Chain A
Amino acid sequence: DTAVSQTPKYLVTQMGNDKSIKCEQNLGHDTMYWYKQDSKKFLKIMFSYNNKELIINETVPNRFSPKSPDKAHLNLHINSLELGDSAVYFCASSQGYSADTQYFGPGTRLTVL
């Protein structure tokens, strides 16, 4: 069983479109995260939710909106996609929100044309 799964694995879309990436974890963890990995492999945290509440919200354009319907899911919705949004987006989860190992999903490669 995949611990942290993401769909889709690949996403190719046009500028200006709206798209969503879904993340699910079956580890029973309380905290979930979204990271962005750019073309230079630099990983940066975007958001984190603990028990469905937003606890980390980095400087991210408000075109990005995370939604956590329950503890096991954290989705990322992106409005009005821009070329610079092309990246690999990773979801992760951890048991708690402090000093806990984060388990990463396989990533979603988003390409904006």
Chain B
Amino acid sequence: AQSVTQPDIHITVSEGASLELRCNYSYGATPYLFWYVQSPGQGLQLLLKYFSGDTLVQGIKGFEAEFKRSQSSFNLRKPSVHWSDAAEYFCAVGPPSGAQKLVFGQGTRLTINP
């Protein structure tokens, strides 16, 4: 069965510190991979996506993610967080072809300490 695991339900980091949010997936083939961010009371906004090619992808707001096929992981990183990064982060996978039935992880809530 297809699944996405985000092991950390809640992470707290200090402003200016580096960040890594973990995402592991289980899928029959190499899926397409996404990270979305949800600010309080808002919809989801795409941060970045991986379809193929370079396994290190750059996204908006200074985020990047690295696809590691051998570890079935797609971890999200940011070298220096800002208070405005406080939000819920969702990793998702989708099929490489056919209807885009995204499967989401349960999310990681990020809190920023001043």
A90-B44, A105-B43 known; A45-B102 Cβ under 8 A: yes
Across-interface contacts of B94 in A (CB, < 8 A)? 99
* Interface presence of A48 (CB below 8 A): yes
Give the distance to chain A from B111, nearest Cβ to Cβ, in Å: 15
Across-interface contacts of A105 in B (CB, < 8 A)? 43
Contact A99 B43 (CB under 8 A): no
Contact A106 B100 (CB under 8 A): no
Interface size of B as a range: 20 to 34
Contact B99 A40 (CB under 8 A): no
Report which of B34, B46, B88, B92 forms a contact with A41, defined as CB distance below 8 A.
B88
**Which of A41, A92, A94, A107 has the most chain B CB within a 10 Å cutoff?**
A41
Number of interface residues, chain A, beta carbon within 8 A: 27
A99-B51, A105-B43 known; A41-B98 Cβ under 8 A: no
**Which of B43, B92, B101, B106 has the most chain A CB within a 10 Å cutoff?**
B43
A105-B43, A106-B43, A107-B43 known; A99-B32 Cβ under 8 A: yes
Across-interface contacts of A106 in B (CB, < 8 A)? 41-43
Contact A42 B106 (CB under 8 A): yes
* Interface presence of A27 (CB below 8 A): no
Task: Report how far A92 CA is from B36 CA in the complex, Å.
Answer: 13
Task: Report how far A107 CA is from B39 CA in the complex, Å.
Answer: 12
A interface footprint on B81-114 (CB within 8 Å = 1, 0 otherwise): 0000000101010111111111010110000000
Across-interface contacts of B99 in A (CB, < 8 A)? 48, 50, 55-56, 97-98
**Which of B46, B95, B100 has the most chain A CB within a 10 Å cutoff?**
B100
Report which of A40, A43, A97 forms a contact with B90, defined as CB distance below 8 A.
A43
Report which of B42, B46, B104 forms a contact with A44, defined as CB distance below 8 A.
B104
Contact B104 A43 (CB under 8 A): yes
Across-interface contacts of B34 in A (CB, < 8 A)? 101
Chain B residues within CB distance 8 Å of chain A: 32, 34, 36, 41-46, 49, 51, 88, 90, 92, 94-102, 104, 106-107
Supplied contacts A31-B100, A42-B107, A48-B100, 5 more A-B pairs, CB within 8 Å: A41-B88, A41-B106, A97-B99, A102-B46, A104-B36
